[in-house]
Structure 1
């Protein structure tokens, strides 16, 4: 994740393997509940930033500007409320990234046939050595009717799904 605040992953010497159950509550460093918030000087020398790391991760889940303190020179100290807000925001960012990734790798269409509704799903497996996709047909009760491997660039549409169903799930 590239931001205006260039923060090197090793800049904080975070020992992620031993961070379980660590609780640090300092003005510029807060570690609790599997998260670390660190307030750092902006690389450009203009203000402060906060980076949120989930334990075990080398890249921050969230990086953003941080509020100046009353003296207009130093950052506002971290506190419990700010940390909880940052954790909530970082979790939301990760959740949205996961949703976006799932949307890129999963497609689904529903086809109404004479006496049944069949859902056909395409799940792309972005394997470096052998990328492929799995096409799966499931009936209205959730029972799998067919499964086959297809090319990762297979275009799933209602008409393609209907043709596959009508052919008795024959290979394309």
Structure 2
């Protein structure tokens, strides 16, 4: 075991590793790995606590054209920025997929109707909610995760005095 590797159970140790093919800092690990598809190299960016890499991409060959270029501070920081952006986009996509919202008018009142899908493996469901313009909850009902929230279905739910949709 190299001196850069250590027992993570010791609270006094520093988790920073700065090696040619392994770099760990600020909650991220970069690993330069052999690209199984060809003779080149790849780099995997893994966020601490995650099992799968957030980003895997090609890595530059070194001067000898056989070994990978060593990791350095600038490359690591660029990789962290890129991997963070990939995660941010993924989170935005999930939010858009699991959260829908429409504003409907009921008389002089504006009501925001939202559908939040809960992708639970054992009990998937969705919560259909209504709030007034001040953010006060007017109603919330549990619906199937397949419920389609549209402007029309939101208006119909409000007009039906927030009864659970059939």
TM-score tier after normalising by the smaller chain length:
0.7 to 0.9
Give me the TM-score of the superposition, normalised by structure 1: 0.85
After superposition, the Cα gap between the structure-2 partners of 1:73 and 1:18, relative to the gap in structure 1 and judged at 3 Å, is: farther
Deviations 1:15-40 (A, max 9, x none): 99659841111111111111111111
Report the alpha carbon displacement of residue 44 of structure 1 after superposing the two structures with TM: 3.2
RMSD (CA atoms): 2.1
Q: Distance in 2 between matches of 1:44 and 1:164?
A: 53
Report the alpha carbon displacement of residue 45 of structure 1 after superposing the two structures with TM: 4.1
Q: Distance in 1 between matches of 2:37 and 2:91?
A: 31
One of 118, 122, 138 as aligned partner of 1:145: 138
Query: Stretches of 4+ moved more than 2 A in 1?
Result: 14-21
Aligned to 2:33: 40
Aligned residue pair count = 159
- Within a 5 Å distance, the mapping from 1:103-118 to structure 2 comes to 103-118=96-111
Q: Distance in 1 between matches of 2:47 and 2:57?
A: 15
Structure 2, unaligned runs of 5 or more: none
Aligned to 2:124: 131
User: Does structure 1 residue 98 correspond to structure 2 residue 98?
Assistant: no
Counterpart secondary structure, 1:65: strand
After superposition, the Cα gap between the structure-2 partners of 1:121 and 1:93, relative to the gap in structure 1 and judged at 3 Å, is: same
